[in-house]
Amino acid sequence: MGLLRAFVELVVPSVCPACDAPRATGDTILCGACARGLRALPRLRAVRTAIAYEGVGMQLVRRWKFEDRTDARDVLVERLAERVRGLRFDAIVPIPRHAARVRSEGSDPVHGLARALATRSGARLLGSALGRARFTPPQTGLSLAARRANVEASFRARPRALAGLRVLLLDDVATTGATLAEAARALRAASGARRIWPAAVAGTAAMESASASVL
């Protein structure tokens, strides 16, 4: 019975992935309160985004990234898939972590998100099309100008890796869009992509209220 219960919990979690409250009959994966509190954020200028990085949305992202909660990731993938369904992209390229961070933290969450979205959408996952050219400190707390300088020339794309393809360039959280802008620049310069759509599963209030586009 223990194994059966564990399997059922994996397929249909009994608690809300955002708050761990027991789910009531009729609830989706999220409990009713969290479902109502999850705010959609369809687009921040050129960046396609699914949810606002606040409240329930922030909790889901943090549980997915730092607690490896696949139920939280599944909610995010569902919302993201709905948001980008009309783009008709052929391939997904995740914003990569530097190899040193993957080694120290043991995972690359955005690559996992991209893999789940690829499975759901039928698009190709091209995780090696874009790499880190150098290590960059975290962007947290930096101004827009500092963020741009921090990520300048920090990506390298494989020449012609995406020739003729329509690409979804995917990140986890968009704050100013500086990282996505620099990654898109590297892809456009080298990869041969036909079209690049920058996207993130969540967007912050700072980006939502910003007046100048970086993409």
Range of the domain at 196: 40-134+145-209
For residue 99, being part of any structural domain is answered with yes
Burial 158-183 (b: 16+ CB within 10 A, else e): eeebbeebbbbbbbbbbbbbbbbbbb
Q: What is the pLDDT along the chain (215 residues), one digit of tens a residue?
A: 344 334 444 555 589 999 999 877 767 789 999 999 999 987 666 889 999 999 999 999 999 999 999 999 999 999 999 999 999 999 999 998 765 555 566 578 999 999 999 999 999 999 999 988 666 656 666 566 666 665 665 688 899 889 999 999 999 999 888 889 989 999 999 888 999 999 999 998 766 655 334 45
Q: How many domains does the chain have?
A: 1
For residue 22, being part of any structural domain is answered with no
For residue 12, being part of any structural domain is answered with no
CATH number for the domain harbouring residue 68:
3.40.50.2020
φ/ψ of residue 207, rounded to 5: -75, -35
For residue 21, being part of any structural domain is answered with no
Instruction: Specify burial of residue 7 (Cβ count, 10 A radius: 0-12, 13-18, 19+).
Output: exposed
For residue 30, being part of any structural domain is answered with no
Residue 201: predicted pLDDT:
95
Q: Please tell me whether residue 173 adopts helix, strand or coil conformation.
A: strand
For residue 116, being part of any structural domain is answered with yes
For residue 35, being part of any structural domain is answered with no
pTM more than 0.85: no
